[in-house]
Amino acid sequence: MEKPLGTKSTLEGHAAAPADARLPPGSVRANGKAVPAGFQSVLSRGPDFKPTPRPHIAAHRFAPQYAALDLGTNNCRLLVARPTRPGFRVVDAFSRIVRLGEGLAASGVLSEQAMSRAIDALKVCADKIAARRIAGGRYVATEACRQAANCQAFLARVRDEIGIEIEIISSSEEARLVVSGCAPLLNPRIPYAIVFDIGGGSTEIVWLRLWGEEDRRWPQILGSVSLPFGVVTLTDRFGGSEVSPATYRAMVAETIAALAPFERASDIQRRVRTGRVQMLGSSGTVTTLAGIHLALPRYTRALVDGSVLTFEQISTVSAHLAGLDLAGRAANPCVGRERADLVLSGCAILDAICATWPVGRLRVADRGVREGILFDLMRA
């Protein structure tokens, strides 16, 4: 699940973290302990990020522009931005629900309707990119394209018809980009962090130490896991129009069971009990719940990004949504018709994360992969 209704074509600025809290670019290594089949895990021994000097460029109309595109299981999203000191300023943006992964779990392939929706959205992105002088760009696809048997044919069609070369990234790279994009929201005074992204086709969980053993200035990824389901795939399996209490409990229980091997491998709960762990969520699920909690008449990114939800508030909003029918959920301006059938699957995954690691409060991030890509491009 991506951003709630109302974020299409928004123009927002982003500020980077303080210098001691930024994540420089790097990669997640696939060494260390492994967890059972169905998961991609990494428990690394050394820092996952290597420092790269950050250019200090004033924000002006002649500064170079960079583009980041994220073709997910649910959304197609683009950001175009100029570097500033200390972050970047968005000059154009686009987001459209395409449900590329709809029906993928059952068929194993991308449907013709889903591909057509994605291509229509990508044409808009290509026009926006062509209209600007782009100094650099990266265009990525995630879980739906990782899983679909016909994805290479689809991406060849995109290249031939639109002229965009899309790269399928691994779940580990997706997790790294999410962390890099969200790093400015992490509290540097809390030494450990759980960062997660509830996507359409997968759910990425990252376990961080903000100060690595070898270099105290740079956060270190201690482990990450990719759950092989997200809001679209869970909804395909369990349904989303009518979700009974028993069905909701089944989704929560399945997610808790899926998280258990990663918890055993990383022993996060021990750190949580000491009060030295923060939690940050990057997904449409958490931004939707924040918007509802704030009683926003329409979704407003500036009010949601960086806000905090207590676990009690999360439980209250989730229970409220579970008590509504499909029309009732669609009527909420922070949910909308296009996401009304997906939101409860996201709530179930979030409830499982909160139950597994009872940190007590969650920082909300309306940012993720695209922002991570932009930070990488501007540091290159």
- Structural contact between residues 219 and 29, judged by C-beta atoms closer than 8 angstroms: no
Residue 222 has pLDDT above 80, yes or no: yes
pTM of the model: 0.82
pLDDT band, very low/low/confident/very high, at 3 (cuts 50, 70, 90): very low
- The tokens for 371 are 């922002």
Q: Give percent of the chain above pLDDT 70.
A: 82
Percent of the chain with pLDDT over 90: 77
- Per the listing, tokens 């009683």 go with 295
Of the listed ranges 41-45, 95-99, 190-194, 352-356, the one predicted with least confidence: 41-45
pLDDT per residue as tens digits for the range 337-372? 999 999 999 999 999 999 999 999 999 999 999 999
pLDDT score of 68: 98
Q: Is 295 exposed, middle or buried (0-12, 13-18, 19+ CB in 10 A)?
A: exposed
Q: Tell me if residue 194 falls in helix, strand or coil.
A: strand
Q: Where are the domains of the chain?
A: 172-369
To the question of domain 172-369 being in CATH 1.10.1280.10, the answer is no
pLDDT at res. 85:
81
Mean pLDDT is lowest, of 142-156, 191-205, 217-231, 244-258, for 217-231
Q: What is the pLDDT of residues 323-332, one digit of tens each?
A: 999 999 999 9
Q: Which of 285, 286, 288 is nearest to 345 (CA)?
A: 285
Better pLDDT: 143 or 20:
143
Over range 82-93, report the average pLDDT. Answer: 90
